[in-house]
Amino acid sequence: MALPTSSVITLHINGEKFTLPVDHRTTLLDALRERLDLTGTKKGCDQGQCGACTVLVDGRRTVACLQFAVAAEGREVTTIEGVADGERLHPVQQAFLDLDGYQCGYCTPGQICSAIGALQEHAAGWPSAATDDLRPESGPPPLTAEEIRERMSGNLCRCAAYASIVDAVAQAAGTRAIQPAGTQADSEEQAA
């Protein structure tokens, strides 16, 4: 018996259910953009290298370009369209606005979804490659600029708005990005 190469699937996105037929080759990224008109999620490299397509799947940041839509069935997907609370922006969105955490804006939805996931990971006490003290009883490490840069390294910004992105993530976390001595004039002004 020949098995099908397409399926009718139901995706759970931003609290809504969408039922659609998909060719199995369709990535979650292409399903969102081309089939469901959720074009906030961007296609950059389409190879899992740039982070522009970052969404949250079951609460965890994921690159939608390496996720087949058919394999996302039954999982809770949150895209940039679903992170705000009605008209009230998500704190990470607000921080990116307040601190100019972007230039052209193309990578921004991915940056924001990634930052939301990264801050949850940090709050859960996950270490990163920038964390010196791995002991679980130590709790979340101080969210230094180095920690933020490392945790956000999966999101490339072609405009190189990195300095403001680090500040925005720090503000959203309720901390200040701790810069090396002598380089924090900009942060001081923004924090004032």
**Nearest distance from C-beta of residue 97 to other proteins, angstroms:** 23
d(CA 48, CA 65): 6
- The answer to the question of residue 98 lying near other proteins (CB under 8 A) is no
Which of 24-32, 88-96, 158-166, 171-179 is the region at the interface with other proteins (rule: CB under 8 A)?
24-32
Return the residues of window 100-159 that contact other proteins according to CB under 8 A. 114, 117-118, 121, 124-129, 131, 134-136, 149-155
If the CB atoms of residues 67 and 187 are measured against other proteins, the closer one turns out to be 67
**What CA–CA distance (Å, rounded) separates 42 from 26?**
15
Closest CA to 121 of 176, 60, 177, 172: 60
Burial 18-38 (b: 16+ CB within 10 A, else e): beeebeeebbbbbbbbeebeb
Of 159, 157, 62, the residue nearest 113 (C-alpha) = 62
Q: Between 108-123 and 162-172, two packed helices, what is the crossing angle to 10 degrees?
A: 40
Q: How far is the CB of 185 from other proteins (least distance, A)?
A: 23
Tell which one of 14, 20, 23, 106 touches other proteins (CB under 8 A).
23
- Contacts (CB under 8 A) with other proteins, residues 49-68: 51, 54, 60-63, 66-68
**What are the counts of helices (DSSP H) followed by strands (DSSP E) for the chain?**
6, 5
List residues near other proteins by CB under 8 A. Answer: 3-5, 7, 23-25, 27, 46-48, 51, 54, 60-63, 66-68, 70-71, 114, 117-118, 121, 124-129, 131, 134-136, 149-155
